[in-house]
Amino acid sequence: MTTATSIRSLEPKALWNNFADLNAVPRPSKKEERVIRFIKEFGQGLNLETTEDEAGNIIIRKPASTGMENRQTVVLQSHLDMVHQKNAGTDFDFLTQGIEMLVDGDWVKARGTTLGADNGIGVATMMALLQATDIAHPPLEALFTIDEETGMTGALALKGGLLKASIMLNLDTEDDRDLTIGCAGGVDVTATGTYSQEGTAQHSKGYRLEVKGLTGGHSGMDIHLGRGNANKLMNRLLYLAASQFGLRISSIDGGSLRNAIPRESFAEVTVPAANSAAFEDFIKAHTAVLKAEYATTDPRLEVQQQALAAPAQVVAADFQERFLQALYACPNGIYRMSPDIEKLVQTSNNLARVLLKNGEYTVQCLTRSSVDSEKEDLARAIEAAFALAGAAVTMAGSYPGWTPRPGATIVKLMSELYHSMFQEAPHVNACHAGLECGIIGAHYPDMEMISFGPNIRGAHSPDEQVQISSVQKYWNLLLETLKSIPEPEKAV
């Protein structure tokens, strides 16, 4: 393994140097002031037309290279924010520190945190193109959106009429074989409420339970892989132990971000001292069961129990039962596969966050579907489960899917280029992730759109990595695409 210094020597150097510069700028969703300023100063430093809209999206325009002035204008689009996840043992402050990168063979990784290749490689690509003086290209608009990862509010706030392009290249796909032409929409479903507490019974023993080491990943792109959800697995343990050993809950803290499959969950509980030995044996036995079930998808799964002083208060018994039942009933994972597109997840839910402490609780889900009516139906099913537990349920941040147009000119052009360059056919597909294309397409319905990118693995988790050779492949495809953009079709 080598250090971040060597990243700047990778090819294409302009892209990797911009990625290194970008990763030195903290850029969490909802707190993007520094990266917005960074991109604005970058565009202004090149003496290119640089504007910021009311939401904080940045548009930088670059005239065509010589001889390509009459080609169709192309907008390149990526988002500025990144998912912030770190391993439990990693000491890192995303608000003040730049990402610590390293090269491991053909991959660039980060030290115990997310890397930010999603969507930093796309941003760095656009920066490299804006800087370049030797690349053939049509008139370009570089659209840098904000807050993609926690609601796509930048794309939602983008106004029609700002962009002049007739073609959009979204650089936010994570497999270099894919040309993506459709995606799922989504909605956040959040259950909140309060509960009564009662004093812990005498002769109770306290424990901290930890479910951790799960693989996690992107709650859209990886949902079909059947990886364990820490919130679901923790609830399974609590539900069974409550009925068998009189377990009482003091607090639960599981998952983190709505679009990341939960990797960790922690709970503080009590059991009657007389049942403690049997409870400890149950946890050990059920840990073996879970490890066997998830040996393929989550080989590092761990369940740990640690004795601690019994907390002074626990959740009231009647609410605890209803809450655990609601979590058990909450759908998680694939809800329905597409009947029309082979191997495409049509509808799913991610039980992303469970927080219960000091008389208040919050449960967050992200429900996705490429069919809006089915998305709404699944969201109502989740609402019903938590309403039965007495929760107030809200639905927010709904965004539309992106309907595929396989006959679009840009799809045909890039498919032919891919086949010619790499001697194989690309995977022209739709994905289950939420891309900004659907939202932007609602503002610009006549714009042709396609999404592509390099191989990125483990996005939204500390295992995130991007393949160096794949970045080179993606870069070359992009350059050939820009060189081949046709003139506008003349009306007849």
Q: Which residues are catalytic?
A: 81, 148
Interacting residues of 144 by C-beta distance below 8 A, sequence separation 6+:
39, 57, 58, 59, 60, 77, 78, 79, 80, 123, 126
Q: Are 9 and 75 in contact (CB under 8 A)?
A: no
Question: 142: which residues sit within 8 A by CB, 6+ positions away?
Answer: 43, 58, 59, 60, 61, 62, 75, 76, 77, 126, 129, 130
The answer to whether 140 touches 129, Cβ cutoff 8 Å, is yes
CB atoms within 10 A of CB 177: 17
Contact 118, 174 (CB under 8 A): yes
| CA pair distance 117, 470, nearest whole angstrom | 12
Quote the DSSP letter at residue 324: H
> Does residue 263 contact residue 352 with C-beta atoms inside 8 Å?
no
5 CB contacts (<8 Å, ≥6 apart)? none
In angstroms, rounded to a whole number, what is the distance separating the alpha carbons of residues 239 and 322?
10
End-to-end CA distance of the chain: 60
Of 73, 97, 74, 75, the closest CA to residue 84 belongs to 97
Helix axes 409-422, 468-484, angle to 10 degrees: 130
| Residues 301, 288: Cα–Cα separation, whole Å | 10
Contact 315, 222 (CB under 8 A): no
Spatial distance between the Cα atoms of 334 and 370, rounded to a whole number of angstroms: 13
Task: Identify the helix (H) or strand (E) that includes residue 270.
Answer: strand 265-272
